[in-house]
Structure formats: structure tokens, C-alpha cells
């Protein structure tokens, strides 16, 4: 380890306390990321060791999550330095320690993904992260519209879908097996979720809206085709009508972009979806809304 990679005296890196995890969530809110009300609870319940603290004389100075999905894949998020400590080189040292710890939590050569702000993409690329595509956040006001029924699919609340079917569909679409995380994510208080089934009972798509500090975010929104995604989105929007809403869309899915643009929603933010390693590059044609920028 070179001197450039050593923290000044008084700095330590260690797993977070539960109170520090809540503080990290508050920092995310102050950054304007509008986290879900239960995001920290879900991630902590699934993987408390994912929360890593940088402390200055025992006080939280920075934080991030290095969540591991059964050691087969990881996702790095909520990477935040306390505002008074930015642009001092501390974030770079902390980043390399996070990456070292993340790799150690996973199987050899397991992929690690992240959604980083565009300006930081070269920084992540220097450590082997490759740009896959851009995820674009669109925001508007929820207004569900009546949709004609399709004879080949049925719409049901998520709690009426066999969990093994839903988990298998999510893994196939997202490229990550994360049943424990998603089971918690899709059952948060105040959330609204629906799935559509083919005639044979297989899942054709599903979507979930979770309450956030302001309004709702829809994610994931996954579907076999654009019309199924449209019906799911309309059903979700009808459930939260009048509330501010956001959907994070993978840019290569042009049909997904049409869904938000036809509603007049505005693009407000974006991130670079990047991955280090192999095995986390699923096609985006069935991803109409990503689960979250923080957890994949």
C-alpha cells in the first residue's frame, strides 16, 4: 500500500451501525436522490454487512453499500462523502478500500455493478468498470389511464403470485438472483405492485411502486413486451394518482422511453450503468424501469 492510499490519522473504515445506515439514507435525501422510505430497512435486513462507514475520530465521514447477492454478484451504491470532507482525496482512498472489501465478499471474478453519475464514469473506469448504457430518470405526476384487457394475459396483485415464479422472472430479466432482497423490496409498507400472467400461468411482467420521501418511484418495471409494460404502468399510476412519480429507464430500451415521453414526463437525472467483471449484462428489452440506482 502506497502513502497515497493511506488515510490521515484519525480515520477508520468499518461496518456501519444501524444508526449510521439511517444517517447515510438521510445524506442520500440531502443529495436530492429521493430514496424510498424503506430502502435502508430493506438493504439492512437483507445484508447488514453491506453498509461500510468511513469514520473521522469516530464520527461518520463517508459511507457506501457493497451489497452481495449470494456472493455471485455485487452492487455498489450510496457512495457518499460528508460534504465538508470532499475534494481532499479522502473519497478516492475510501473508494479503493470499498472495492477491495467488495471483491473479498464475492466469488472470484464475480461481477460488481453500479449506477454512477456521468461525471464520475472515468473515475470508475480506471478501476475496470465498463460502461454498459445510461439509465435515465423521468419524473411526472401519476395519472393512470384505462387500458383495454388482453385476452392472453391476466393482471393480479403481486401478493397473489407464487413467489418462486416471480423470483425466477426477476432473475431472468435482471441477470441477478436476489430472492431475499426482492421479497423484502416488494413487500414494503405502502408499496403497490402488480404482475401480469400468460394463459399458462407464467409471468409476463411485473411492476412495483414504492413510497419515497417525495411521491413514489416505480421500479422494477419488467415486461415481455411494451404493451404489457404500458398496462402495468397504467395500473400502478392509477393506484397512486396525483402523486409525484419517477421511473428510471435504461436508455437502450426505446419502447420504455416512449412510455414516459408519451406521458410528457421530464428527464431529470441520469446515471451510467457500469460493471466490473462478467455476467451482469442482461438485455434491456424487458427492463422498462430499473429496481434502483443504489442496489441494481
Per-domain residue ranges for the chain? 3-114, 136-289
If you classify domain 3-114 with CATH, what class do you get? alpha beta
Query: What's the average model confidence in pLDDT over 54-58?
Result: 97
Size of the chain, expressed as the number of residues it contains:
296
- Quote the CA–CA distance of 192 and 254 in Å, as a whole number: 25
Whether omega before 220 lies within 30 degrees of 0, making that bond cis, reads yes
Q: Which of 40-54, 173-187, 246-260, 278-292 has the lowest mean pLDDT?
A: 278-292
Q: What is this structure's pTM?
A: 0.94
- Quote the CA–CA distance of 2 and 250 in Å, as a whole number: 39
Give the model confidence (pLDDT) of 68-84 as tens digits.
999 999 999 999 999 99
Above 60 in pLDDT, residue 59? yes
- Give residue 3's pLDDT band: very low, low, confident or very high (50, 70, 90): very low
Q: Which three cell numbers stand for residue 89?
A: 482525496
Beta strand 216-223 pairing with 59-69: unpaired
Q: Is 135 exposed, middle or buried (0-12, 13-18, 19+ CB in 10 A)?
A: buried
Q: Which three cell numbers stand for residue 70?
A: 449470494
Query: What pLDDT does residue 280 have?
Result: 77
- Quote the CA–CA distance of 283 and 112 in Å, as a whole number: 17
- Give residue 149's pLDDT band: very low, low, confident or very high (50, 70, 90): low
Q: Are 66 and 52 in contact (CB under 8 A)?
A: yes
Q: Assign 58 to helix, strand or coil.
A: coil
CATH value of 136-289 in 3.50.50.60, 3.80.30.20, 3.40.630.90, 3.40.50.1010: 3.40.630.90
What are the φ/ψ torsions at residue 101 (nearest 5 degrees)? -65, -40
DSSP-H helix ranges across 150-225 = 163-174, 179-185
Q: What is the DSSP letter of 10?
A: T
Query: What's the average model confidence in pLDDT over 103-110?
Result: 95
Answer whether 3-114 and 136-289 agree in fold: yes
Distance from CA of residue 252 to its chain's centroid?
Answer: 17
Amino acid at each position: 500500500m502506497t502513502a497515497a492510499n493511506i488515510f490521515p490519522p484519525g480515520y477508520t473504515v468499518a461496518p456501519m451501525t444501524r444508526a449510521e445506515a439511517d444517517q447515510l439514507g438521510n445524506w442520500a435525501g440531502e443529495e436530492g436522490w429521493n430514496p424510498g422510505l424503506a430502502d435502508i430497512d430493506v438493504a439492512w435486513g437483507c445484508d447488514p454487512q453491506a453498509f461500510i462507514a468511513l469514520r473521522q475520530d469516530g464520527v461518520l465521514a463517508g459511507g457506501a453499500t457493497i451489497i452481495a447477492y449470494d456472493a455471485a454478484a455485487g452492487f455498489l451504491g450510496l457512495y457518499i462523502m460528508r460534504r465538508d470532507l470532499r475534494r481532499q482525496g479522502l473519497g478516492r482512498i475510501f473508494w479503493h478500500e470499498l472495492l477491495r472489501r467488495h471483491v473479498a465478499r464475492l466469488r472470484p471474478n464475480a461481477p460488481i455493478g453500479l449506477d454512477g453519475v456521468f461525471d464520475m464514469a472515468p473515475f470508475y473506469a480506471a478501476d475496470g468498470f465498463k460502461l454498459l448504457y445510461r439509465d435515465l430518470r423521468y419524473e411526472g405526476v401519476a395519472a393512470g389511464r384505462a387500458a383495454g384487457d388482453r385476452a392472453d394475459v391476466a393482471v393480479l396483485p403481486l401478493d397473489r403470485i407464487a413467489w418462486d415464479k416471480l423470483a425466477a422472472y426477476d432473475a431472468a430479466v435482471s441477470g441477478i438472483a436476489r430472492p431475499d432482497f426482492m421479497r423484502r423490496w416488494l413487500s414494503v409498507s405502502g408499496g403497490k405492485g402488480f404482475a401480469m400472467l400468460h394463459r399458462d400461468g407464467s409471468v409476463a411482467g411485473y411492476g412495483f411502486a414504492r413510497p419515497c420521501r417525495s411521491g413514489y418511484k416505480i421500479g422494477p418495471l419488467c415486461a415481455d413486451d411494451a404493451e404489457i409494460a404500458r398496462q402495468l404502468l397504467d395500473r400502478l399510476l392509477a393506484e397512486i394518482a396525483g402523486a409525484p412519480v419517477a421511473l428510471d429507464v435504461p436508455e437502450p430500451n426505446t419502447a420504455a422511453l416512449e412510455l414516459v415521453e408519451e406521458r410528457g414526463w421530464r428527464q431529470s437525472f441520469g446515471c451510467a450503468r457500469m460493471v466490473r467483471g462478467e455476467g451482469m449484462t442482461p438485455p434491456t428489452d424487458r427492463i422498462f424501469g430499473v429496481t434502483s440506482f443504489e442496489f441494481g
